[in-house]
């Protein structure tokens, strides 16, 4: 199972989190976010992590040229679209970045909204389901209604996000069986400052089940 720790801002924490077992690190490329990082910060954060670790840039309603520039300059392996991007936008981004993983995040309001994931399947590699919040794009600490996801079985792999912590992670993965999990505020001291003790506890609990 993939484990993505998102909202990384500090190089020393990226190295520690990778060594603890993360398969992907997420970097917020949204200037209004308290976890925003520049190209230079991303470069510093990934300089000493193994190549096998996925490096995902998180964008929201950016244009394709901006995303492409940041991906290339930062040596990212994936793009997570966390705004209102359309399936057509995803298709155009794929043409611009043919070898980059495209993850479309959807902030799920209800079962009807969940069904819109089908519109994206043809144009993306991976889905990410997050909790809906009217003001914030992510990192809210709010959980989705897991009951809505009980029968969710898309043809693409998918990340579960939204309010996950070391305390609820085993309940979540055993109940929903996602392809991957994505945590940010659930393993933080403050926005962008990860709590390495919580990250360690997360992997301790995951390893008790999956190793």
- Tell me the average pLDDT of the chain: 92
Q: Give me the domains of the chain, ranges plus CATH numbers.
A: 2-210 (3.20.20.70)
* Confidence label for 141 from pLDDT (cuts 50, 70 and 90): low
Which of 73, 148, 80 has the alpha carbon at shortest distance from 109?
A: 148
Of 6, 29, 54, 182, which residue is the catalytic one?
A: 6
51 given a catalytic annotation: no
Whether residue 139 is predicted with pLDDT greater than 50 in this model: the reply is no
> What integer is the mean pLDDT of 17-35?
97
* 149 vs 111: CA distance, rounded Å: 8
Q: What is the pLDDT of residues 90-124, one digit of tens each?
A: 999 999 999 999 999 998 876 777 888 999 999 99
pTM: 0.93
Of 29, 90, 130, 182, which residue is the catalytic one?
A: 130
* Confidence label for 134 from pLDDT (cuts 50, 70 and 90): very low
Which one has a higher pLDDT value, 209 or 31?
A: 31
Burial (Cβ within 10 Å: 0-12, 13-18, ≥19) of residue 95: exposed
Neighbours of 71 (CB within 10 A): 22
130 given a catalytic annotation: yes
* 174 vs 191: CA distance, rounded Å: 28
Q: Determine contact, residues 70/29, Cβ cutoff 8 Å.
A: yes
* Confidence label for 152 from pLDDT (cuts 50, 70 and 90): confident
Torsional sign, CA 68, 116, 133, 171 = negative
> What integer is the mean pLDDT of 54-74?
98
Beta strand ranges found along 117-157 (DSSP E): 126-131
């Amino acid at each position: 199972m993939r484990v993505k720790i998102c909202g990384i801002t500090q190089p020393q924490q990226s190295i520690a989190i990778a060594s603890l077992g993360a398969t992907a690190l997420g970097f917020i490329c949204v200037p209004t976010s308290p976890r925003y990082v520049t190209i230079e910060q991303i470069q510093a954060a990934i300089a000493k992590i193994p190549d096998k670790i996925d490096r995902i840039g998180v964008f929201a309603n950016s244009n394709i040229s901006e995303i492409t520039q940041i991906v290339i300059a930062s040596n990212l392996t994936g793009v997570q679209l966390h705004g209102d991007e359309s399936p057509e936008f995803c298709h155009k981004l794929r043409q611009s970045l043919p070898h980059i993983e495209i993850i479309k995040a959807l902030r799920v309001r209800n079962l009807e909204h969940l069904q819109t994931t089908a519109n994206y399947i043809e144009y993306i590699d991976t889905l990410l389901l997050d909790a809906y919040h009217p003001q914030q794009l992510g990192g809210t600490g709010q959980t989705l209604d897991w009951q809505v996801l009980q029968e969710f079985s898309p043809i693409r792999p998918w990340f579960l996000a939204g309010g996950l912590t070391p305390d609820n992670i085993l309940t979540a993965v055993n109940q929903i069986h996602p392809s991957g999990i994505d945590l940010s505020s659930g393993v933080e001291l403050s926005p962008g400052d990860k709590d390495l003790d919580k990250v360690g506890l997360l992997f301790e609990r995951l390893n008790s089940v999956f190793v």
